């Protein structure tokens, strides 16, 4: 029986990647990757004579191209058909594995694809296969025949040049994305080719060169950039043979790949010029000759094209003189064993390794889109860390006793100006790491679609504030909480179509995702127009599971927040979506990690809204600096409800509950920080000290401190591996006097006080 394992893996990869593609705002590299995967699947199916699978994959490839180029009138129907096709491929793959064949019907599906794509007279999949075959035949005609006459070669080259000059711009935004991505891919290829030349046996370097060519080919394919697609495909095939060990990595092979990358760069830059309206210039590349060299390299034949020697390039670049070159050649010849010219020149101190590297790469003039520049995130993080150190330093200067006591008005003015510039620099550098929440919302939209189908419900998604920005380091942190919230909205919140009709609601429910800034925080609201939270049912379940002692005297907010307790669930049965009581607990833990909080608003039969609020960035915190004895602590301002000096009569010591303070009619537990941290305080009586009323998700408590120093933005510093799990402390910050202040974690403090009490 034939081996179908690889085929099934390819189908599963396509299904997985399709999950995160959204038709309204499709990501070009992702779509290109998907098209590449479909092309590879078509080849695999062809090799295994799985004709039905090959036709379905061809149809999906054609359909996706039409969707990307916005040539499908009903885009939702297009994506629905694509999803059905992926499911059909999985069904065919399973049947091939189990029985060696597939007898099911694909004609109905192929007809629906033909109707959507408008390809009449031939099935979409067959049409796609024919086009691929024609492209391959054309490529082979050009490559085949080592002794192709010069006149014929020139004729082909001129014909290809004319073709490239008349590229039809089908979608300007997609083409711009391709140009930016393509030039970045070429830069990536050039760097890794140099690494490969130094270490020819390293398969990782080959893979790192293979992937960019693969991506360029995929995107060029659905943009109908045939020349670029064919050249990238030829180079990709060459690298695939090197990767599998069929070809040796020689200097000749590397030269061919470099020249191919240079040719792709020139072609992409030409596209950029055409897009910007610059006068078209002839493509000064003999593509036919280049393709013959690639064909020769595939056969492991020596590269016969005359290539400028390294020494000549170094002289052209002005790195060395002709005299230096002659001396270097003589030194290289006399060495035992003989050295390469580059090594000899470096050892003689005539050139630097960087100059030799540039010469080896034989780069054409760099083409950089100045409107957009991509920066390695590590560099951005380093910049923000450095700016954080600058903020700390300027704070220390500002609070230096000499500066504070100095009466020089000019010095005071300069220090004040330095503070302003530093603050602005901090805001600007932090904003560089901000990104719109749009992509996260798109992933949630797709999740709702899949979950509603599995649950047998009709649910639409409405998004607001997609351009709201958030620190990219927090995007992954909020992803899991949002997934759990959306799952609950679909499974618990939205009613079935029958229940909605009975309640006088539209048959189709709505999940609304909204993001906006409020103060120094970002707020994400997840709303549904479903059943709402049943407070009585929540109380009943909480008592049954012994999560609370008494259901009496609990406000609605306190009752709603019981759903965040570990093990709590109101689901009648456990499903694939929810019901195990772990989802909302995960949300609570994630929000604590992000120093955020959740607010709930719910009305029976009208729906619920969960508002997740957390800081814009995890690098800086807005805190209240307090002193206990000789130590200073920072309390996040988002957790502070009020500051007060209580009167003596508000203090009570209640049996079974401990020390309490009456704050505006509510009895709140008193937490003595000096006892938790074992510090000698200035004051032990609450009416002599200051009380900070701090709240978390479910309760409020009073923290006893000696003094409130003031409010300040501080840069968060990790306490290291040994203290990272210390309860009651979430980090540290360097204060203006140079000392370290600990940032308090209200949730951890509450647990510490309860366990010690």
SS (H, E, C) 18-61: HCCCCCCCCCHHHHHHHHHHHHHHHHHHHHCCCHHHHHHHHHHH
Phi-psi region at 746: left, alpha or beta (left = phi > 0; alpha = psi -120 to 50) = alpha
The residue among 619 and 504 whose pLDDT is bigger is 504
Q: Are 691 and 578 members of one domain? A: no
Whether 421 has a pLDDT exceeding 50, the answer reads yes
Token pair belonging to 513: 């995702």
Residue where the block lists tokens 């807005």 = 622
In a domain, 143, yes or no: no
Burial of 246 (0-12, 13-18, 19+ CB in 10 A): exposed
CA distances from 311 to 357, 365, 476, 635 (A): 12, 20, 50, 65
2: pLDDT confidence band, cut at 50, 70 and 90? Answer: low
Token pair belonging to 267: 């072609």
509-518 and 459-464 as β-strands: parallel, antiparallel, unpaired?
parallel
Asked if residue 259 lies in contact with residue 252, where contact means CB atoms within 8 angstroms, the answer is no
pLDDT at 628: 92
Q: Cβ neighbours of residue 486 under 8 Å, at least 6 residues apart?
A: 444, 447, 448, 451, 511, 526
Mean pLDDT within 3-18: 77
Whether 290 has a pLDDT exceeding 80, the answer reads yes
Asked if residue 512 lies in contact with residue 527, where contact means CB atoms within 8 angstroms, the answer is yes
pLDDT at 720: 66
First vs last C-alpha separation in the chain: 70
In a domain, 565, yes or no: yes
Burial of 259 (0-12, 13-18, 19+ CB in 10 A): buried
Q: Cβ neighbours of residue 279 under 8 Å, at least 6 residues apart?
A: none
Token pair belonging to 674: 């000096």
CA neighbor of 588 nearest in space, from 449, 663, 676, 488: 488
Whether 438 has a pLDDT exceeding 70, the answer reads yes
pLDDT at 639: 81
Q: Are 741 and 625 members of one domain? A: yes
User: What are residue 68's phi and psi, to 5 degrees?
Assistant: -60, -40
Whether 704 has a pLDDT exceeding 80, the answer reads yes
In a domain, 368, yes or no: no
pLDDT at 619: 65
Q: Are 125 and 173 members of one domain? A: no
* Domain end position, chosen among 298, 330, 349: 298
For 79-94, what is each residue's pLDDT tens digit?
788 888 888 888 888 8
Which CATH number do you get for residue 412? Answer: 1.10.287
Whether 368 has a pLDDT exceeding 60, the answer reads no
Which CATH number do you get for residue 132? Answer: 1.20.120
Q: Are 422 and 498 members of one domain? A: no
Asked if residue 504 lies in contact with residue 545, where contact means CB atoms within 8 angstroms, the answer is no
Question: How many structural domains does the chain have?
Answer: 6
691: pLDDT confidence band, cut at 50, 70 and 90? Answer: very high
Bridge partners (DSSP) listed for residue 524: 515, 612
pLDDT at 360: 64
User: Over the chain, what is the mean pLDDT?
Assistant: 76
pLDDT at 121: 35
- Can you spell out the DSSP letters for 664-689? TTEEEEEEEHHHHTT---S--STTTS
Q: Are 508 and 642 members of one domain? A: no
**Alpha carbon of residue 707 to chain centroid:** 44
529: pLDDT confidence band, cut at 50, 70 and 90? Answer: very high
The residue among 228 and 392 whose pLDDT is bigger is 228
Asked if residue 676 lies in contact with residue 749, where contact means CB atoms within 8 angstroms, the answer is yes
pLDDT at 353: 67
Q: Are 429 and 353 members of one domain? A: no
The residue among 32 and 439 whose pLDDT is bigger is 439
pLDDT at 114: 85
pLDDT at 49: 85
Whether 527 has a pLDDT exceeding 90, the answer reads yes
Whether 498 has a pLDDT exceeding 50, the answer reads yes
In a domain, 630, yes or no: yes
Diameter over CA atoms, the chain: 106
Q: Are 706 and 722 members of one domain? A: yes
Q: Are 354 and 399 members of one domain? A: no
In a domain, 341, yes or no: yes
d(CA 496, CA 503): 11
The pLDDT > 90 percentage for the chain reads 5
Mean pLDDT within 203-228: 80
In a domain, 240, yes or no: yes
Asked if residue 748 lies in contact with residue 728, where contact means CB atoms within 8 angstroms, the answer is yes
d(CA 1, CA 206): 33
737 secondary structure, DSSP code? T
Which CATH number do you get for residue 250? Answer: 1.20.120.160
3-class secondary structure, 323? helix
d(CA 592, CA 586): 10
The residue among 511 and 747 whose pLDDT is bigger is 511
pLDDT at 525: 92
Considering the entire predicted model, what is its pTM?
0.44
For 325-336, what is each residue's pLDDT tens digit?
788 778 777 777
Q: Are 463 and 516 members of one domain? A: yes
Mean pLDDT within 35-55: 85
Q: Are 30 and 97 members of one domain? A: yes
pLDDT at 574: 43
19: pLDDT confidence band, cut at 50, 70 and 90? Answer: low
- Can you spell out the DSSP letters for 356-375? HHHHHHT-------TT----
Domain extent for 182:
148-298
pLDDT at 571: 53
The residue among 283 and 421 whose pLDDT is bigger is 421
* Domain end position, chosen among 560, 589, 615: 615
Which CATH number do you get for residue 732? Answer: 2.40.50.180
Q: Which of 10-14, 162-166, 365-369, 465-469 has the lowest mean pLDDT?
A: 365-369
d(CA 137, CA 130): 10
308: pLDDT confidence band, cut at 50, 70 and 90? Answer: low
Mean pLDDT within 366-376: 50
What does the angle CA 128 – CA 132 – CA 134 come to, to the nearest 5 degrees?
A: 115
d(CA 29, CA 21): 11
Bridge partners (DSSP) listed for residue 667: 662
Burial of 236 (0-12, 13-18, 19+ CB in 10 A): buried
Whether 752 has a pLDDT exceeding 70, the answer reads yes
pLDDT at 152: 34
Q: Which of 145-149, 160-164, 661-665 has the lowest mean pLDDT?
A: 145-149
The residue among 38 and 4 whose pLDDT is bigger is 38
Whether 579 has a pLDDT exceeding 50, the answer reads no
The pLDDT > 70 percentage for the chain reads 78
In a domain, 715, yes or no: yes
* Domain end position, chosen among 298, 326, 345: 298
In a domain, 49, yes or no: yes
What does the angle CA 555 – CA 558 – CA 561 come to, to the nearest 5 degrees?
A: 150
pLDDT at 151: 35
3-class secondary structure, 266? helix
- Can you spell out the DSSP letters for 528-586? E-SS---HHHHHHHHHHTTS-S--TT--HHHHHGGGGSTT----SS--SSS-SS-HHHH
Burial of 707 (0-12, 13-18, 19+ CB in 10 A): middle
For 111-146, what is each residue's pLDDT tens digit?
888 888 776 433 445 544 444 444 433 333 333 333
The answer, yes or no, to whether the previous bond of 617 is cis (omega within 30 of 0) is no
Q: Are 429 and 557 members of one domain? A: no
Q: Are 628 and 711 members of one domain? A: yes
d(CA 261, CA 366): 12
């Amino acid at each position: 029986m034939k081996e179908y394992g690889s085929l099934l893996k390819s189908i599963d990869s396509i299904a997985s990647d399709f999950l995160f593609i959204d038709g309204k705002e499709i990501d070009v590299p992702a779509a290109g990757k998907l098209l590449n995967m479909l092309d590879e699947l078509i080849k695999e199916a062809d090799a295994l004579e799985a004709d039905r699978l090959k036709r379905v994959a061809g149809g999906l490839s054609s359909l996706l191209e039409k969707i990307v180029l916005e040539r499908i009138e009903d885009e939702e129907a297009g994506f629905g058909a694509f999803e059905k096709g992926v499911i059909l491929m999985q069904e065919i793959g399973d049947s091939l594995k189990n029985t060696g064949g597939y007898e099911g019907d694909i004609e109905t599906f192929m007809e629906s694809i033909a109707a959507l794509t408008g390809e009449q007279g031939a099935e979409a999949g067959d049409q796609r296969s024919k086009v691929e075959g024609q492209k391959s035949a054309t490529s082979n005609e050009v490559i085949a025949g080592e002794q192709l006459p010069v006149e014929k070669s020139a004729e082909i080259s001129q014909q290809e040049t004319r073709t490239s000059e008349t590229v039809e711009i089908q979608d300007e935004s997609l083409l711009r994305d391709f140009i930016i991505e393509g030039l970045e891919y070429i830069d990536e290829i050039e760097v890794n080719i140099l690494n490969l030349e130094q270490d020819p046996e390293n398969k990782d370097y080959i893979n790192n060169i293979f992937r960019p060519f693969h991506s360029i080919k995929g995107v060029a394919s659905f943009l109908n950039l045939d020349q670029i697609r064919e050249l990238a495909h030829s180079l990709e095939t060459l690298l695939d043979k090197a990767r599998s060990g069929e070809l040796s990595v020689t200097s000749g092979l590397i030269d061919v790949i470099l020249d191919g990358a240079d040719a792709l760069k020139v072609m992409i830059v030409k596209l950029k010029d055409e897009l910007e309206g610059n006068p078209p210039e002839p493509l000064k590349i003999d593509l036919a000759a280049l393709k013959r060299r690639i064909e020769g390299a595939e056969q492991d034949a020596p590269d016969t094209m005359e290539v400028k020697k390294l020494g000549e390039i170094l002289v052209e670049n002005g790195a060395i003189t002709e005299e230096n070159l002659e001396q270097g050649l003589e030194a290289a010849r006399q060495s035992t064993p003989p050295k390469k010219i580059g090594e000899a020149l470096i050892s003689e101190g005539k050139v630097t390794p960087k100059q030799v590297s540039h010469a080896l790469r034989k780069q054409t003039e760099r083409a950089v889109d100045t409107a957009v520049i991509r920066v390695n995130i590590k560099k951005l993080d380093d910049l923000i860390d450095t700016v954080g150190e600058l903020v700390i330093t300027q704070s220390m200067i500002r609070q230096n006793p000499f500066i504070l006591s100095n009466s020089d008005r000019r010095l005071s003015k300069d220090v004040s100006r330095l503070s302003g510039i530093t603050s602005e620099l901090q805001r600007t550098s932090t904003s560089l790491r901000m990104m719109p929440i749009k992509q996260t919302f798109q992933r949630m939209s797709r999740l709702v679609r899949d979950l509603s189908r599995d649950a047998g419900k009709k649910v639409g998604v409405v998004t607001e504030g997609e351009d709201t920005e958030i620190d990219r380091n927090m995007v992954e942190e909020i992803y899991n909480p949002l997934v759990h919230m959306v799952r609950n909205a679909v499974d618990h919140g939205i009613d079935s179509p029958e229940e909605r009709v009975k309640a006088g609601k539209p048959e189709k429910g709505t999940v609304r995702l909204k993001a906006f800034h409020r103060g120094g925080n970002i707020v994400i609201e997840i709303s549904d127009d479903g059943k709402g939270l049943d407070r009585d049912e929540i109380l009943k379940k909480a008592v049954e599971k012994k999560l609370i002692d008494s259901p009496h005297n609990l406000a609605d907010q306190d009752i709603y927040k019981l759903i965040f307790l570990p093990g709590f669930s109101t689901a009648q049965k456990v499903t694939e979506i929810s019901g195990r009581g772990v989802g909302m607990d995960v949300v609570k833990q994630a929000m604590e990690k992000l120093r955020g909080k959740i607010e709930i608003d719910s009305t029976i039969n009208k729906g619920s809204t969960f508002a997740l609020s957390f800081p814009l960035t995890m690098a800086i915190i807005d805190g209240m600096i307090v002193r206990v004895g000789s130590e200073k602590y920072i309390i996040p301002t988002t957790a502070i409800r009020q500051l007060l000096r209580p009167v003596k009569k508000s203090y009570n010591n209640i049996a079974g509950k401990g020390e309490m303070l009456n704050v505006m009619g509510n009895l709140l537990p008193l937490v003595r920080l000096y006892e938790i941290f074992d510090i000698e305080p200035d004051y032990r009586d609450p009416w002599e000290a200051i009380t900070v009323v701090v709240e978390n998700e479910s309760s409020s408590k009073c923290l006893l401190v000696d003094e409130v120093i003031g409010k300040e933005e501080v840069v968060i510093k990790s306490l290291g591996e040994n203290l990272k799990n210390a309860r009651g402390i979430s980090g540290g910050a360097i204060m203006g006097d140079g000392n370290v202040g600990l940032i308090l974690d209200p949730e951890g403090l509450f647990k510490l006080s309860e366990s010690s009490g």
